Amino acid sequence: MGFWNLRALKLDEFRPGIFSKIETGKNLTMAVMEIAPGKEGTAHGHPFDQCGIVVEGEIEMLIGEEKKLLKPMEAYFIPAEVMHNWKTLTSPAKILDVVLKQGQQRWKNID
């Protein structure tokens, strides 16, 4: 698919409290994720850059040692190998995220 209407896009449950739609091309994966309030990721890093933008709501992003509460139309860029994490607080968040194609990813989790 070449075009998405983010207001009308049907999302599927990815994990409890996280709904998503993913489009995978030869080199990139684009994902829209809607994340319920009170959810938190696991700190991790990977050997490729990642970027995204908040479409709706708020999400707290930790990139390296820097933490910021992002609101609609604010973007993030995560350099390769930098540990990062996210957390929703009292409201849900919808983000558009772009990474290297799924299946080529190598993750390293923090212990």
Q: Where are the domains of the chain?
A: 28-102
How would residue 107 be classed by pLDDT, with cut points 50, 70 and 90?
Answer: very low
Contact of 107 with 84, CB cutoff 8 Å: no
3-state secondary structure of 66: strand
pLDDT digits (tens, 9 = 90+) for 85-100: 999 999 999 999 999 8
Amino acid occupying residue 105: Q
Sign of CA dihedral 44, 111, 13, 64: negative
Q: What is the pLDDT of residue 100?
A: 81
Instruction: Given CATH 2.60.120.10, say whether it is the number of domain 28-102.
Output: yes
106 pLDDT exceeds 60? no
Predicted TM-score of the model (pTM) = 0.85
**Strand pairing report for 108-109 and 75-78:** unpaired
